[in-house]
Amino acid sequence: MVLLNFWFPGCACCKIELPFEKRLVKKFNKNKFKLINICFYAEIKDWHRAIKQFNLEGINLFANMNWQSKLEKRYKISSFPHYTLIDKKGIIYSNHPKRPSEGISADISKLIND
């Protein structure tokens, strides 16, 4: 089970979601749940600074301009943060699920128990 989080360090809405993302990681850690944060629109040094500053949970990846373009097209990203929930079979369950602050944990629980 994977939750992709497409974000960038200057995104106010992304920062609002951080405590809720941390709760998800803590709640579902034992259930083979992974949060993967993919950073857009930043320099590598700013990405590193944000990881430390916000104590980001999960796996942290950096998307350069080439990858940003590919990912934006593939996942139809038009706003941030953008989440994609992938089930345990590797199939996209939702490309625009609820945000962590809006109750995505119910969807994650359902997928874990299926």
pLDDT in tens, 3-19: 999 999 999 999 999 99
> What residue ranges define each of the domains in the chain, with the CATH number in brackets?
2-113 (3.40.30.10)
**Predicted local confidence at residue 62, as pLDDT:** 98
Residue 108: which of 86, 89, 91 has the closest Cα?
86
Structure confidence at residue 69 as a pLDDT band (50, 70, 90): very high
**Predicted local confidence at residue 81, as pLDDT:** 98
Residues above pLDDT 90, as percent of the chain: 94
Bridge partners of 2, per DSSP, are 34, 86
Q: What is the pTM of this model?
A: 0.95
Across the range 56-67, mean pLDDT stands at 95
What is the C-alpha to C-alpha distance for residues 113 and 28, in angstroms, rounded to an integer?
12
